[in-house]
Amino acid sequence: AQSVTQPDIHITVSEGASLELRCNYSYGATPYLFWYVQSPGQGLQLLLKYFSGDTLVQGIKGFEAEFKRSQSSFNLRKPSVHWSDAAEYFCAVGADTGRRALTFGSGTRLQVQP
Amino acid sequence: NAGVTQTPKFQVLKTGQSMTLQCAQDMNHNSMYWYRQDPGMGLRLIYYSASEGTTDKGEVPNGYNVSRLNKREFSLRLESAAPSQTSVYFCASRPTGQETQYFGPGTRLLVL
């Protein structure tokens, strides 16, 4: 069975500082990996995704993530955080067969200090 | 092009009441999903539909029924609501052959 672990429940960074959100997954084959962002009271917006190829993927809003197979990780990064980045971030893994439902991590809530 | 829409946005029920959460997508996607989101647990799959007329149970289907009468709409029904069903419910759709799911804005349900 696939699973996703986001070790950090809550992270606080200062505006302008760099950000890294951790994500570790467990999956038997090559995973499809996603990062979604959820602003307060809103739905989920796709930030970026990895299916194959280049292990460093670029997303919207200046985010990027790096797939490291040896570490079973897919960490999300941003060089300089903006106050509008305050939200909850979810890492998810998807299967490449069957119903292709997503398995989500428990989320990391990001707070940005002025 | 509205994407995935959900109604209502917010609902309060009393224990034992029934209700149907509506979801519709205008992207001509075959696959649709219902998830629930609880604090500290991420999203969990309730039901899945691969196409019109077909449904399949997910991780947490107990207490729910679904209906996929046409390609656009996928409804979730609570026959007898329980406080444990207090949650935020998300509907999603996915085009055939692609892996990305597109989510609706969610329905926040409170069962008293």
What confidence tens digit (pLDDT) does each residue in A45-93 have? 999 999 888 899 999 999 999 999 999 999 999 999 999 999 999 999 9
Mean pLDDT (chain A) is 92
Which residue from B minimizes the CA distance to A93?
B99
> Which residues are CB-contacts of A111 (< 8 A; sequence separation ≥ 6)?
A10, A11, A12, A13, A86
CA end-to-end distance (rounded Å), chain B:
36
What is the pLDDT at residue B82?
Answer: 97
The pLDDT of B24-52, averaged and rounded, is: 93
> What is the rounded distance in angstroms from the CA atom of residue B31 to the CA atom of residue B92?
8
What is the pLDDT at residue B39?
Answer: 84
B63 — phi, psi (to 5°)?
Answer: 95, 0
Instruction: Tell whether B42 is within 8 A of chain A (Cβ).
Output: yes
What whole-number percentage of chain B has pLDDT above 70?
99
What is the pLDDT at residue B1?
Answer: 62
What is the pLDDT at residue A85?
Answer: 96
Q: pLDDT tens-digit profile of B47-71?
A: 999 999 899 999 999 999 999 989 9
Q: How confident is the model at residue A15 (pLDDT cuts 50, 70, 90)?
A: very high
What is the pLDDT at residue A14?
Answer: 97
Mean pLDDT (chain B) is 93
Helix (H, G, I), strand (E, B) or coil at A101: coil
Determine whether A19 is exposed, middle or buried from the number of CB atoms within 10 Å of its CB (0-12, 13-18, 19+).
Answer: middle
Instruction: Tell whether B11 is within 8 A of chain A (Cβ).
Output: no
What is the pLDDT at residue A96?
Answer: 65
What is the sign of the dihedral through the CA atoms of A30, A22, B105 and A16?
negative
Instruction: Tell whether B94 is within 8 A of chain A (Cβ).
Output: yes
Instruction: Tell whether B90 is within 8 A of chain A (Cβ).
Output: yes
> What is the rounded distance in angstroms from the CA atom of residue A2 to the CA atom of residue A79?
30
Contact A99 B90 (CB under 8 A): no
User: Measured between CA atoms, how close is B73 to chain A, in angstroms?
Assistant: 18
What whole-number percentage of chain B has pLDDT above 90?
87
The pLDDT of B36-52, averaged and rounded, is: 91
What is the sign of the dihedral through the CA atoms of A65, B42, A24 and A86?
positive
**To probe the interface with A, which of B43, B44, B98 has the most A CB atoms within 10 Å?**
B43
What is the pLDDT at residue A54?
Answer: 87
Greater model confidence, A113 or A100? A113
User: Measured between CA atoms, how close is B43 to chain A, in angstroms?
Assistant: 6
Contact A32 B33 (CB under 8 A): no
The pLDDT of A95-104, averaged and rounded, is: 78
Chain B positions touching A1 (Cβ under 8 A) are none
> What is the rounded distance in angstroms from the CA atom of residue A94 to the CA atom of residue A19?
24
Contact A102 B43 (CB under 8 A): yes
Contact B40 A94 (CB under 8 A): no
Which one-letter DSSP state was computed for residue A96? S
What is the pLDDT at residue A95?
Answer: 74
Greater model confidence, A43 or B103? B103
